Structure 1
Amino acid sequence: MGVDYDSEVEEFEWGIPESYTVTSTVESHAEAFGDRVAVHFLDDDGVRTERTYSDIRDDKNRFANGLEELGVGKGDRVMHLFPRHPEAFAIQLGALSTGALLVPCSSMLRAKDIEFRSNDCEATTIVVHESLTDMVEPVIDETPLERVIVLDGDESDLEDDSWMTYESVSEGEPTEYDGPDLSAEDPMSINYTSGTTGQPKPVLHKHRWQYCFNQINAPYWWGIDEDTDLEDELLWATTGTGWAKWFWSPVGVGITTGATQLIYDGDFEVETFLEIMEDEGVTKLCAVPTQYRMFANADLEEYDVQLNDTLSAGEPLNREPIERIQDAWGVTPRDGYGQTETVALVTNYPGIDVEIGSMGKPTPGVGATIIEVDEEKEVEPGEIGEIAVPVDSPAIFDGYFEKPELDEQKLSGEYYRTGDLASRDENGYFFFEGRADDIIISSGYRIGPFEVEDALVTHDAVAEAAAVDSPHDERGSVVKAYVILNEGYDGSDELKDELQEFMKEQTAPYKYPRRIEFVDELPKTSSGKIRRVELRQQEQEKHD
C-alpha cells in the first residue's frame, strides 16, 4: 500500500458513525465472514487454539448474558487481569456489550496496584486468570469488588459465593444478546497511565477510540486499507492484554478491520519469536524497539520470513536494527508515535520515505503539531517544542475518569500537551528530543519516577531517593535510582541487590531500578523539589 501524503491530509474526513461500537463491528464481521479465523493462539508449549469471528461473537454474547444475570450493566466498571489468552476478545467484548467500561490491568502489577485501581474507579467486577488470583485475594476486602470471575478456574478452589469461574458464567447462555443501545460516544475503557507525580491516572476513552484506530492506525501505520486482501495477511502485535497498546493493535486494528492475527502467550525469546514468525507465516509484525534490537543480533538470514511490514512503537528505534532488518529481510521497520491518551499521532507510513531516526509525519485528520513549551504557539522547523494535539480532535482521550481537576489541567487550553519534546525538519518529519517532564520510558514502558521513589523510601535503609532514566543500548533507557541512606547503613553491592529484590516485590518488575547509586545529597530547587533534569544530564554524559 502507498499513499500520497499531501492529498491524504487534504482529503481526510472523519465521518464517525454515530452508532459505531467495536462490539457491533464484531457482529458485522461475523455476519459477513464468520468462518474467517480471527485469532491463531499459541501457548508457550506450542499448543494451538483458533477462534473464528463467529466464535468470538457467540462467546462474547454468552459472556454478556452471564454478566447481565449477575447484575453487571451500563456504566459499571469491569477490571480484567489475564495473560494473552484465546478468550481475551470474548471477555473484553462481552463486558463492553453490557455497556460496562473495561479497566485493563497488566499481569506485571502487584496486589496494591489492583487495590488502588479498583478503589479509584469503583470497579465492582474483576475477571482474573487462575494463575493471578493471588493479586486479588489479599486486597479484595479493601475494595468495592463484588464478584471475582476466574478464567480457567476450578470450582473447588473458589473462595466463596462471590467467586465464580468464567466457564460457569458463560455456560448454557444464549449466543444472541439484546443489550443496551450503545453509540460511538458511550464510554468504553479506563486505561491507567503513569504520571510524574502521584498515582497512575485513569484515562477515559469512548467507543469512538476504536473507530479512530481503524481510520488512522490501520492505513497509516499497519498499511491496511480497503484494498488489502486480509485473507493473505497474518498480524502479530507482541503486546499484552493489560496495556493500551492492546487496544491500539489487536483490538483497534486486528478486530476492527476483520483481520486474522496471531496471539502468542510466551515470554520473549529471540529464537522462539523468529521461529514463530517463520512457521506461522506472519506478514505484519508490531514489536517494541528492545525486541527489534535483540532481533538484530540474531542470524536473521537463517529465517525464511514472509514479512511485508514491521512496525515499532514505544520509544525511538535507532539506526542499527533498522538497517540490519532491511538488509536481512528487505522490509524497513517503521516507527509510530502515540500515547495511551491517543491514536497514532505521527508515523512513517506507507507512501512516504522512511526517514531513519524520525517518528515520521503527523497522521491525517489528527492535527498533531509542535508548540512552544510555555506558549500555545507552533515552533519553526528546527526548533524544539512539545508535541500537542487540538483538544477537539477525535483522536485523543475524553478526559480522566471522574477527575475534573485533572481535566482542567490537561484539556482546558487549545491543545492537549503530550509531554514529549520533538523537532520538525523542513520536510515535515518529526524527531523525538526527549520528555518535557520526568517520565521514564524503558523498553516501551512508561514509568513514573514518583512510583519508584515512593516504594524505595519504604525500605528501612532509604532516607530519600530520586529515579531517572539512564541510557541503555538494548532497552533505550533503564531506571536509575540515586539513593540517600539512613544513618547506620553503608552503600554496598549487597545492599543494591537487596533494594532491587525489595522493589520487585513492591512494584511491577519493569519499574525496579536496574542501576542504583548511593549519594550524600540530591540536587534540589529552592522550594525543595528534586531537580531530576540534572541527574538525567549526568546519566547522558556518562553514556556519551
Structure 2
Amino acid sequence: MGVNYTTEADSFEWDIPDSYAITSVVTDHADSVGDRVAVRFLDDEGGREERTYAEIRDDMNRFANGLESLGVTEGDRVMHLFPRHPDAFAIQLGALATGSLLVPCSSMLRSKDIAFRADDCTATSIVVHESLTDMVEPVLEETPLERVIVLDGSEDDLQGEGWTTVADVMAEESTDYDGPELAAEDPMTINYTSGTTGQPKPVLHKHRWQYCFNRINAPYWWGVDEDTDLEDELLWATTGTGWAKWFWSPVGVGLTTGATQLIYDGEFEPDTFLEIMEAEGVTKLCAVPTQYRMFANADLEDYDVTLNDALSAGEPLNREPIERIQDAWGVTPRDGYGQTETVALVTNYPGIDVKPGSMGKPTPGVGATIIDVDDEEPVEPGEIGEIAVPVDSPAIFDGYYEKPNLDEQKLSGDYYRTGDLASRDEDGYFFFEGRADDIIISSGYRIGPFEVEDALVTHDAVAEAAVVDSPHEERGSVVKAYVILAEGHEGTGELKDDLQSFMKEETAPYKYPRRIEFTDELPKTSSGKIRRVELRKEEQQKHGL
C-alpha cells in the first residue's frame, strides 16, 4: 500500500459512528468471518492454541454473564494482571461488555503499584493469572478490591472469600449476553502512564479510541486498509497485555480489522523470535527499538522471513538497525510516535521515503504539530518545540479519570501538550529531541538528548547511552553522557577522548558530550524508557545543587 500524503491529509474526514464499541465490532466479525482465526497463540514450552472470532465472541459473552452474576455492573473498574494468553481478548472484551472500565496492569509492576492503581481508581475486581497472585494478595486489605478472579487457577489458588477462577465464572454461562448498549462515547479503559516523572496518571479513553486506531494506526502505520487481503496476512505485535500498546495494535488494529494475529508468551530472545517469524509466516511485525537493535546483531540472512512491514514504537529507532534490516530483508522498519493518551500522531506511513532517525510525518486527521515550549505558536523548521495536538481532536484521550486538576493543566488551552520535544525539517518530517524536561540548554543552545544518544550508539564501543544536562559554572549546563560499553571495551580516558572526537564529527560541535561517565546500567521505567530525571538529579547532587 502506498499513500499520497498530501491527498490523504487534505481529504481526511472523521465520521465516527455513534454506536461504535469494540465489543460490537468483534461480534460483527464473528457473524461475518466467524471461522477465521483471530489468535494464533504459542508459548515457550511448545504449546499452541487458536481462537476463532466466533469463539472469542462466545467466550466474551460467557465471561460477561459470569461477571454480572458476581455483581459487576456498568461503570465498575476491573483491573487485569496476566501475561500474553489465548483467552486475553475474551476476558478483556467480556469485562467491557458489562460496561465496566478495564484497568490494565503489567506483570513488571510490584504489589505497591497494584495497590496504587486500585486505590486511585477505586477498582473492585481484578483478573489475575495464577502465577501472579502473590502480587495481589498482600494488598487486598488496604484496597477497594473485593473480587479476585484467577486465570488458569485451581481450588488451591483461592485464598479466601471473594476469590474464584475464570473457569468457574464462565461455567455453564450462556454464549448470548444482553448487556448495556455501548457507544463510542462510553468509557472503555483507564491506562496508567509509565511515568518518567511523578506518579503514573490515569488516562481515560472511550470506545472511540479503538475506532481511531482503525482509521489511523491501521492504514497509516500497519498498512492495513479496505484493500488488504487479510487472508494473506499474519500480524505480530510483541507487546504485553498490560500496556497501552496492547490497545494500539492487538486490539486497535488486529481485532478492529478482523485480522489474524500471533501472540507469543515467552521472553525475548532474538533467534527464537526470528525462528517464529520464519516458521509461522509473519507478514507484519511491530516491535520495540531494543528488539530491533538485537535483531540487527543476529544473522538475519539465515532466516527466510516473509515480512512486508516492520514497525517500531516506544522510543526512536536508531539508524543502524533500520539499515541492517533493510539490507538483509528488503523491508525498511517504519517508526511511529504516539502516547498512552493518543493514537499514532506521527508515522512513517506506507510508501514514505523513510529518513533514518525521523518519526515520520503527522498522520492525517489528527492535527499534530510542533509549538513553542513557552506559547502556542508553531515553530519554524529546524527549531525545537513541543509536539502538540488540538484539544478537540478525536484522536486524544478524554481526560484523566476523576482528576479535574490534571485536566485543567493539560486540556484547558488550545492544545494538548505531549511533553515530547521534536523538530521538523523542510520536508515536514518530525525528529524526536527528548522530553520537554530533558532539553539541555548550554551557552544558549537548545540541545535535544536523542540526537546525541543516536550518534553515540553508532560508535563500536557504545552499547547504550543516555544524555542529560550537567551543571557548569560558565555555560550553565553542558552535555553529559552516561555510556554502557559494548562487550570487549574498557572505559578509559583514551576512549572518552575518542568518543568526544567522534561526536564532534557526527553532530554539530556544540552538541558533543563534554562529560562522559561509563556505567553498567541506566535507570528505566517498567516499560523500558530511560528515566533521565534520575540522572539529572544525580548530576545536581554531584555539583552541590
Q: Do they fold alike, i.e. is TM over 0.5?
A: yes
Which residue is 2:9 aligned to? 9
Does structure 1 retain, via aligned residues, the 8 Å contact 2:115–2:143?
yes
What's the CA shift string for 1:153-185, capped at 9, x where partnerless? 011331113000000001110001000011000
Which residue is 2:121 aligned to? 121
Q: Which of 228-237 and 317-326 deviates more? A: 317-326
User: Helix, strand or coil: the match of 2:148?
Assistant: strand
Opposite residue 135 of structure 1, the aligned amino acid is M
Which residue is 1:202 aligned to? 202
2:542 and 2:418 map into 1 onto residues whose CA distance is: 26
What's the CA shift string for 1:363-421, capped at 9, x where partnerless? 00000000000000001111110000000000000000000000000000000001111
1:247 partnered with 2:266: no
1:281 partnered with 2:281: yes
2:481 and 2:395 map into 1 onto residues whose CA distance is: 29
User: Would the alpha carbon gap of residues 103 and 362 (structure 1) be closer, same or farther in structure 2, given more than 3 Å must change?
Assistant: same
Opposite residue 27 of structure 2, the aligned amino acid is E
Opposite residue 108 of structure 2, the aligned amino acid is M
1:520 and 1:87 map into 2 onto residues whose CA distance is: 47
Does structure 2 retain, via aligned residues, the 8 Å contact 1:78–1:103?
yes
User: Helix, strand or coil: the match of 1:136?
Assistant: helix
User: Would the alpha carbon gap of residues 67 and 415 (structure 1) be closer, same or farther in structure 2, given more than 3 Å must change?
Assistant: same
User: Would the alpha carbon gap of residues 513 and 406 (structure 1) be closer, same or farther in structure 2, given more than 3 Å must change?
Assistant: closer
Does structure 2 retain, via aligned residues, the 8 Å contact 1:386–1:420?
yes
* Alignment TM-score, normalising by the size of structure 1: 0.83
Which residue is 2:107 aligned to? 107
Q: By how many angstroms is 1:152 displaced? A: 0.4
Does structure 2 retain, via aligned residues, the 8 Å contact 1:196–1:437?
no
Does structure 1 retain, via aligned residues, the 8 Å contact 2:234–2:261?
yes
Opposite residue 344 of structure 1, the aligned amino acid is A
2:233 and 2:394 map into 1 onto residues whose CA distance is: 29
2:206 and 2:539 map into 1 onto residues whose CA distance is: 48
User: Helix, strand or coil: the match of 1:367?
Assistant: coil
User: Helix, strand or coil: the match of 2:437?
Assistant: coil
Does structure 2 retain, via aligned residues, the 8 Å contact 1:77–1:125?
yes
User: Would the alpha carbon gap of residues 107 and 336 (structure 1) be closer, same or farther in structure 2, given more than 3 Å must change?
Assistant: same
Which residue is 2:541 aligned to? 522
Does structure 1 retain, via aligned residues, the 8 Å contact 2:214–2:256?
yes
1:123-202 paired onto structure 2 within 5 Å: 123-195=123-195, 197-202=197-202
Does structure 1 retain, via aligned residues, the 8 Å contact 2:348–2:361?
yes
User: Would the alpha carbon gap of residues 221 and 508 (structure 1) be closer, same or farther in structure 2, given more than 3 Å must change?
Assistant: closer
Does structure 1 retain, via aligned residues, the 8 Å contact 2:419–2:436?
yes
Which residue is 2:53 aligned to? 53
Q: By how many angstroms is 1:316 displaced? A: 1.0
Which residue is 2:220 aligned to? 220
Does structure 1 retain, via aligned residues, the 8 Å contact 2:196–2:529?
no
1:322-471 paired onto structure 2 within 5 Å: 322-438=322-438, 470=482
User: Helix, strand or coil: the match of 1:168?
Assistant: helix
Does structure 2 retain, via aligned residues, the 8 Å contact 1:196–1:438?
no
Opposite residue 151 of structure 2, the aligned amino acid is L
What's the CA shift string for 1:449-491, capped at 9, x where partnerless? xxxxxxxxxxxxxxxxxxx9946589xxxxxxxxxxxxxxxxx
User: Helix, strand or coil: the match of 2:251?
Assistant: helix
User: Would the alpha carbon gap of residues 519 and 141 (structure 1) be closer, same or farther in structure 2, given more than 3 Å must change?
Assistant: closer
Q: By how many angstroms is 1:511 displaced? A: 8.0
User: Helix, strand or coil: the match of 1:135?
Assistant: helix
1:86 partnered with 2:77: no
Does structure 1 retain, via aligned residues, the 8 Å contact 2:130–2:157?
no
Structure 1 residue ranges (4+ consecutive) displaced by more than 4 angstroms after TM superposition: 438-443, 468-474, 507-521
User: Helix, strand or coil: the match of 1:522?
Assistant: helix
1:32 partnered with 2:51: no
Which residue is 2:297 aligned to? 297
Does structure 2 retain, via aligned residues, the 8 Å contact 1:110–1:508?
no
User: Helix, strand or coil: the match of 1:137?
Assistant: helix
User: Would the alpha carbon gap of residues 42 and 398 (structure 1) be closer, same or farther in structure 2, given more than 3 Å must change?
Assistant: same
Q: By how many angstroms is 1:508 displaced? A: 4.9
Opposite residue 380 of structure 2, the aligned amino acid is E
Q: By how many angstroms is 1:212 displaced? A: 0.1
What's the CA shift string for 1:252-282, capped at 9, x where partnerless? 0000000000000000001000000000000
What's the C-alpha RMSD, in Å, of the aligned pairs? 2.7
Opposite residue 522 of structure 1, the aligned amino acid is Q
1:355 and 1:516 map into 2 onto residues whose CA distance is: 30
2:145 and 2:543 map into 1 onto residues whose CA distance is: 41
Opposite residue 53 of structure 2, the aligned amino acid is Y
Which residue is 2:271 aligned to? 271
Which residue is 1:460 aligned to? none
Q: By how many angstroms is 1:198 displaced? A: 3.0
Q: Which of 192-201 and 30-39 deviates more? A: 192-201
2:375 and 2:359 map into 1 onto residues whose CA distance is: 23
User: Would the alpha carbon gap of residues 386 and 72 (structure 1) be closer, same or farther in structure 2, given more than 3 Å must change?
Assistant: same
User: Helix, strand or coil: the match of 1:360?
Assistant: strand
User: Helix, strand or coil: the match of 2:118?
Assistant: helix
User: Helix, strand or coil: the match of 2:59?
Assistant: helix
Q: By how many angstroms is 1:352 displaced? A: 2.1
Does structure 2 retain, via aligned residues, the 8 Å contact 1:5–1:351?
no
Which residue is 1:20 aligned to? 20
Q: By how many angstroms is 1:107 displaced? A: 0.3
User: Helix, strand or coil: the match of 2:358?
Assistant: coil
Q: Which of 348-357 and 40-49 deviates more? A: 348-357
Which residue is 1:312 aligned to? 312
Does structure 2 retain, via aligned residues, the 8 Å contact 1:73–1:98?
yes
Q: What is the number of equivalent residue pairs in this alignment?
A: 476
Which residue is 1:458 aligned to? none
User: Helix, strand or coil: the match of 1:437?
Assistant: helix
Q: By how many angstroms is 1:510 displaced? A: 5.2
1:322 and 1:195 map into 2 onto residues whose CA distance is: 28
Opposite residue 109 of structure 2, the aligned amino acid is L
Q: By how many angstroms is 1:437 displaced? A: 2.0
Opposite residue 49 of structure 1, the aligned amino acid is E
1:56 and 1:86 map into 2 onto residues whose CA distance is: 10
Does structure 2 retain, via aligned residues, the 8 Å contact 1:358–1:430?
yes
Opposite residue 129 of structure 1, the aligned amino acid is H
1:511 and 1:287 map into 2 onto residues whose CA distance is: 14
Opposite residue 101 of structure 1, the aligned amino acid is L
User: Would the alpha carbon gap of residues 196 and 524 (structure 1) be closer, same or farther in structure 2, given more than 3 Å must change?
Assistant: farther
* Alignment TM-score, normalising by the size of structure 2: 0.83
Q: By how many angstroms is 1:78 displaced? A: 0.2
What's the CA shift string for 1:326-356, capped at 9, x where partnerless? 1110100000000000000000011321122
Opposite residue 139 of structure 1, the aligned amino acid is V
User: Helix, strand or coil: the match of 1:249?
Assistant: helix
Identity over aligned pairs, percent: 78
1:370 and 1:410 map into 2 onto residues whose CA distance is: 16
Q: By how many angstroms is 1:28 displaced? A: 0.2
Does structure 1 retain, via aligned residues, the 8 Å contact 2:391–2:411?
yes
Opposite residue 157 of structure 2, the aligned amino acid is D
Unaligned runs of 5+ in 2: 440-448, 455-479, 487-518
What's the CA shift string for 1:310-337, capped at 9, x where partnerless? 0001111111111110111010000000
